Structure 1
Amino acid sequence: MDGDDDFGAELAASLDPDSWVWLPGVDYAAGWRVARQTADELNSLLAACGVARTQLRAIADTDSTGGPVVRLEGIAEGWLSLEELLCLAAAVRRGAH
């Protein structure tokens, strides 16, 4: 524990049963495979831009209906690297128009 007295209440409030209860008949594996391919491609692109997986990475997941979801998870350094890359991309895009 980090000394946060509301840790338990905060954790309970963040639990969304729709995000972790699997429904019978839903093909979660198919959605996850699509998300996995996309996450792998994004991770390769991040690596090519010099962002280490230990700093920022894409993670495959599914939503409550089995749809593909890709989540980004990282530490502050990784998010700052992404911010820098997005600023560079925005500048290039503005220059192209």
Structure 2
Amino acid sequence: MDGDDDFGAELAASLDPDSWAWLPGVDYAAGWRVARQTADELNSLLVACGVDRGQLRAIADTDAQGGALVRIEGIAEGWLSLEELLCLAAAIRRESH
């Protein structure tokens, strides 16, 4: 155990069939294509902002109903880079209002 008190709850959530079971008749490919385009655009923006793809990246996925879903995964350094970018964006937004 890594000291995370929610480890069991996270494991149970990841085993939820509604989060991974494919349902007959659902067009998962269409949702994935939308998610892929969005993930590609986000990844391009992250790279343009200096975030290495090996540190943080958007990944296309679908939800249980076939809807587009984009997950962001990364290592701590990547998340810190994103935090810095979001803080800069928030400061610029405050200045412009």
Are 1:51 and 2:67 an aligned pair?
A: no
SS at match of 1:50: coil
Output the amino acid matched with 2:79: W
SS at match of 1:83: helix
SS at match of 1:18: helix
Residue identity over aligned pairs, in percent, reads 80
State the Cα distance separating 1:30 from its structure 2 match: 0.1
State the Cα distance separating 1:19 from its structure 2 match: 1.1
Residue segments in structure 1 that go unaligned for 5+ positions in a row: none
Residue segments in structure 2 that go unaligned for 5+ positions in a row: none
Are 1:18 and 2:25 an aligned pair?
A: no
State the Cα distance separating 1:12 from its structure 2 match: 4.5
CA deviation string 1:51-84 (max 9, x = no partner): 0011000000000000000000000000000000
- Normalised to the residue count of structure 2, the TM-score between the two structures is 0.89
- Normalised to the residue count of structure 1, the TM-score between the two structures is 0.89
Structure 1's consecutive aligned runs of 4 or more residues displaced over 4 angstroms after TM superposition are none
Aligned residue pairs: how many?
A: 91
CA distance in 1, matches of 2:57, 2:22: 25
SS at match of 2:66: coil
Output the amino acid matched with 2:12: A
> CA-atom RMSD, angstroms?
1.5
Output the amino acid matched with 1:13: A
